[in-house]
Amino acid sequence: MSTSRPTRRGVLKAAAGLSATTALGATGVLASASAAHAAGDGFGLRIVDRNESDARMRYYRFATDAIGWNPGVNVLLPDGYHSGGRRYPVLYLFHGGGTGQDFITFDRMGIRAWTAGKPLIVVMPDGGPAGWYSNPVSSNVGPRNWETFHIAQLLPWVDANFRTYAEYNGRAVSGFSMGGFGALKYAAKYYGHFASVSSHSGPASLRRDAGLVTHWANVSSAAVELGGGTVYGAPLWNEARVSADNPVQRVESYRNKRVFLVAGTSPDPVNWFDTVNETQVLAGQREFKSVLGAAGIPHEGHEVPGGHFVRPDLFRRDLDGIVARLRKA
């Protein structure tokens, strides 16, 4: 399965890169930021499984009231993390939808090689097969509050257990497909949390084409995530939730952030899912780039051949941009 997570029990991050400050840990005890403790419980998360044997990749699984099963997370540490006391910026990286996608997805793709030598912590959590990085309107299978898990629990847990910068300029968020949407959504709704946002083939418009993406979020979540419940409500949407989550309606929330977008221009013509998916992604990202441009908000957009898949070359380019934008280790 996946390897696991780092060292450190509670840093609330004070000062700068090389300092060995003290901070309040997850258990409420003062601990030295330079000490090598195992990660602890806190912020509504109780560790039920872990693997901290790998020098870079750490794995944890949590019990949490926010999710009706025990979600996992991989935390990828930079080279040299254990040999010094530096603090690092953090990238939250979200997987796409589907029953084969989870917190191990990017490890399978090669994230260790892509980040080799880069001074960056990468946090890759579960988001459910069709959780849409949201607290759903309804669920028939127990709690599936992914937004609460990621923002209210996991983010402060990471800051308390690893040497991070717990600040705006210390965090980025990125993702593929459904995860790209989640990245755009979180960056807007939680403006002060993330200085950089990237969407690799992620939808950026929920209302275009009669709300096709919103309908897909409802249908997919009902089928494989919520036992017939929905993310946005059916047959009528919760309009306030759609507006709050819709990137094209939150354009001012991307001001003063680094924005990086990727979409394919030639999906597989014989693959219905690929064609519908990436065609909608491309149209939505074009709409999003148009409103960003009209508002005078800088952004970097790439429209490249192919359909709905991760492009390692652009992913590596994105990682370089993230490191350049965030506070230095």
Give pLDDT tens digits for 310-328: 999 999 999 999 999 999 9
Q: What is the pLDDT of residues 286-297, one digit of tens each?
A: 999 999 999 999
215 is catalytic: no
Q: Mean pLDDT, to the nearest integer, of 247-270?
A: 97
Q: What is the pLDDT of residue 194?
A: 98
How far, rounded to the nearest angstrom, does the alpha carbon of residue 154 sit from its chain's CA centroid?
Answer: 11
Model confidence pLDDT, tens digit, residues 27-64: 332 223 333 468 999 999 999 999 999 999 999 999 99
Q: Note the pTM of the prediction, 2 decimals.
A: 0.89
Q: Which two tokens stand for residue 184?
A: 């755009």
DSSP codes, 266-323 = S--TT-HHHHHHHHHHHHHHHHHHHHHHHTT---EEEEESS-SS--HHHHHHHHHHHH
**Which residue in 150, 193, 200, 308 is the catalytic one?**
308
Residue 144 tokens read as: 């599936």
Is 308 known to be catalytic? yes
Which pLDDT score, from 0 to 100, does residue 38 have? 86
Q: What is the CA radius of gyration of the chain?
A: 19
Q: Are 124 and 77 in contact (CB under 8 A)?
A: no
From the candidates 2, 134, 177, 199, give the one annotated as an active-site residue. 177
β partners of residue 121: 90
Six-digit token pair at 282? 């491309």
Percent of the chain at pLDDT > 90 equals 88
Confidence check: pLDDT of 229 > 90: yes
The question of whether 177 is a catalytic residue gets the answer yes
Report how far apart, in Å, the C-alpha atoms of 218 and of each of 115, 139, 154, 272 are. Answer: 35, 11, 25, 19
pLDDT at 82 over 50: yes
Cross-strand bridge partners of residue 258: 196
